[in-house]
A and B are shown apart, each in its own frame.
Chain A
Amino acid sequence: MNVVVCVKQIPDPAVPGELNPDHTLKREGKLILDESDSYGVEMALQLRDAAGEGEVILVSMVPNQEVSGLRQALAMGADRAILVSDDALHGADALTTAKVLARCVERAGAVDLVLAATESTDGYTGTVPAQIAELLGWPSLTFAKHVELADGKAQIQRQTEAGYDDVVAPLPAVVSVTAGVVEPRYPSFKGIMAAKNKPVDQVTTADLGLGPDDLAPRQRIVNVAAAPARQAGEKIEDDGTAHERIVAFLEELKVV
């Protein structure tokens, strides 16, 4: 069972986000593993271990050489990584990202399954998994809150507006998983030490056979503005009677 996991290294979401003068997201400094991706990594490890053979291969792209987020996922137990690091990817849109990652999947060798989060925490375009599937010509099972593999098929519970659907597809396939699908493990000390020596195949877009025409952004940010701020209103400490203030507020709004 060879599983590729798409992972993104992002600026720490706990730190307020900033934009560059060209309106792209600032990504200088240390990047961390997007927490949304830790679920896919965990699921891949469980599937590999249940199969008793195979590899978990991470694929990722960054505009700089950053690997610290990848090392987090390697420390959890992934076997190796392919990292596309290329200035040409600065400001890459979702389809370009999907093209790059699809090429990485092909580079990874014989792959049974590609896992990804439903969207990244920083950009959240939310289309990359199904775009990768279309580029590879594979089925995609998206928004999975539960995943099972058996008899060469993946079956998931796919989140819907009203509940969920049971959906099945033969492998190889792309599956996007929601947060909470499994409980990600914390890297052990041994895992952290081992991660330092795991292979990270650093490639450029040219190595993947992608040229400037494939990567040229076809959308442009023309304006950035602060959203009209919502004013904070009245704030009170509960002294045991705060519920009365809520009732009065609801009365003012004529909802009770």
Chain B
Amino acid sequence: MKIWIFAEAEGDAPSTATLELCTKARELADTVECVYAGSNADALAGPLGEYGVTTLYAADVGDRLVGVVGAAAIAALVDEHRPDIILFAQTYDGRDAIARLSARLDRPVLTNGSSLTVDGDTVKVGTAIFGGNTLVDAVFEGPKPYLAAIRPKSFSAEPAGGGAAAVVPVSGLELGRAGEATVLARHVEEREGPKLEEASIVVSGGRGLGSAEAYEQLVEPLAKLLGGASGASRAIVDAGWVPYSKQVGQTGKTVKPKVYIALGISGATQHMVGMKGSDHIIAVNKDGEAPIFSVADLGIVGDVHKVVPKLLEALQARG
């Protein structure tokens, strides 16, 4: 069994989601290799090697889209190297890459995976549907390679202690008109405190806050006071109160903090998928019937505008 992973970088290091996939793949396959589209592949070779990756196929991306170059690189290599499974993280670039590759190789995809099992030639991907109420297992049929995208945080990332992966440059890729899309500029949205996906405490706000000002006055100070990160429901991201990078849920980030505090969030299925795995959930909402209370360890039926200022005061008083 040979598993390939579409590796993504965060700065000059492999992304956490990539390392999670490497850890899982190591458990299932004899050979784990990565394909990477980006710059500075040499910097990734060491950390990936520690997670069991032996070879890193690397294509330079320049100002092209990572997903486009990644799919073209994999397509150029599969016939020769014949991986059984190719895994992608369920990220923006991961989704671009798996989609392009799927059409190019004429292979179906399973996405939004939260589990992956291999039994002989049967490869099974588990997905949570209906807001995480129902788990569905699906298997691939037809010819390999099988293409699956897995949600970040589905597996833990644990190093195995191996030497650096061998870097094999890939060039001369056929991008076709897809390669005519170019990146003009990259914008990083400023963030204070820990990353949303990695914070041990997440404080999120929803429509019940009533305004963007309330987010700034209630959600952000509480997150800061607790040393956590601030998140948001899709409703207030769509409303333009906070940037997309704060969105928790099906279309946003998956978080599994020690404590998740939901302020003025009703608990639409879209949101619950992204936070149900938290160790402990605290919810404050005016509507006692809100679905969020069905998953909350501590539910406060009350007005966030009354409860949170007092909470901030009490926490500040403790120093």
Question: Are A237's CB and B302's CB within 8 A?
Answer: yes
Fill in one digit per residue for B164-200: 1 if any A CB lies within 8 Å of its CB, else 0: 0000000000001111111111111100000000001
CA distance A170 to B176 in the complex (A): 13
Question: Are A145's CB and B96's CB within 8 A?
Answer: no
Q: Does B43 contact A (CB under 8 A)?
A: no
Q: Which of B184, B269, B293 contacts A167 (CB 8 A)?
A: B184
Main secondary structure of the interface of B (DSSP, over half): mixed
Q: Does A87 contact B (CB under 8 A)?
A: no
Question: Are B129's CB and A17's CB within 8 A?
Answer: yes
Sampled A-B contacts (5; CB under 8 Å): A121-B270, A126-B90, A161-B15, A249-B298, A256-B318
- Tell me the smallest distance from the CB of B14 to a CB of chain A, in Å: 13
Contacts of B313 in A (CB 8 A): 243
Closest chain B residue, CB of each to CB of A121: B270
Question: Are B95's CB and A124's CB within 8 A?
Answer: no
- Tell me the smallest distance from the CB of B191 to a CB of chain A, in Å: 8
Known interface pairs A232-B295, A233-B299, A243-B310; 20 further A-B residue pairs with C-beta atoms within 8 A, sorted by A's residue number: A95-B103, A126-B112, A138-B177, A139-B178, A140-B100, A142-B95, A162-B245, A219-B108, A219-B139, A222-B138, A223-B135, A223-B136, A224-B134, A227-B128, A227-B132, A233-B296, A235-B299, A243-B307, A249-B298, A255-B259
- If the complex has contacts A17-B130, A130-B67, A167-B181, are A160 and B307 also in contact, measured as CB distance less than 8 A? no
CA distance A133 to B97 in the complex (A): 12
- Tell me the smallest distance from the CB of B89 to a CB of chain A, in Å: 10
Question: Are B293's CB and A138's CB within 8 A?
Answer: no
Closest chain B residue, CB of each to CB of A178: B244
The contact size tier of chain A is: 35 or more
CA distance A159 to B298 in the complex (A): 34
Task: Report the interface size for chain B: residues with CB under 8 A from the other chain.
Answer: 97
Contacts of A95 in B (CB 8 A): 102-103, 106-109
Q: Which residues in window 136-163 of A have CB below 8 A to B? A: 137-143, 145, 155, 158-163
- If the complex has contacts A225-B135, A243-B314, are A179 and B293 also in contact, measured as CB distance less than 8 A? no
CA distance A130 to B245 in the complex (A): 22
Question: Are A137's CB and B314's CB within 8 A?
Answer: no
Fill in one digit per residue for A207-243: 1 if any B CB lies within 8 Å of its CB, else 0: 0000000000111111111110010111111101011
- Tell me the smallest distance from the CB of A128 to a CB of chain B, in Å: 7
- Tell me the smallest distance from the CB of B127 to a CB of chain A, in Å: 9
CA distance A160 to B67 in the complex (A): 12
Q: Does B301 contact A (CB under 8 A)?
A: yes
Q: Does B276 contact A (CB under 8 A)?
A: yes
Question: Are A139's CB and B181's CB within 8 A?
Answer: yes
Q: Which residues in window 253-305 of B have CB below 8 A to A? A: 258-259, 269-270, 276, 280-282, 284, 288, 293-303
CA distance A222 to B296 in the complex (A): 31
Q: Which of A217, A227, A238, A247 contacts B314 (CB 8 A)?
A: A247
- If the complex has contacts A238-B300, A242-B302, are A227 and B109 also in contact, measured as CB distance less than 8 A? no
CA distance A86 to B217 in the complex (A): 53
Question: Are A238's CB and B141's CB within 8 A?
Answer: no
- Tell me the smallest distance from the CB of A97 to a CB of chain B, in Å: 11
Q: Does A53 contact B (CB under 8 A)?
A: no
Q: Does B239 contact A (CB under 8 A)?
A: yes
Q: Does A4 contact B (CB under 8 A)?
A: no
Closest chain B residue, CB of each to CB of A138: B177
Fill in one digit per residue for A161-190: 1 if any B CB lies within 8 Å of its CB, else 0: 111111111100100001110000000000
Question: Are B282's CB and A246's CB within 8 A?
Answer: yes
- Tell me the smallest distance from the CB of B142 to a CB of chain A, in Å: 4
Contacts of B136 in A (CB 8 A): 23, 221, 223-224
Q: Which residues in window 206-262 of B have CB below 8 A to A? A: 226, 234, 237-240, 243-245, 250-251, 258-259
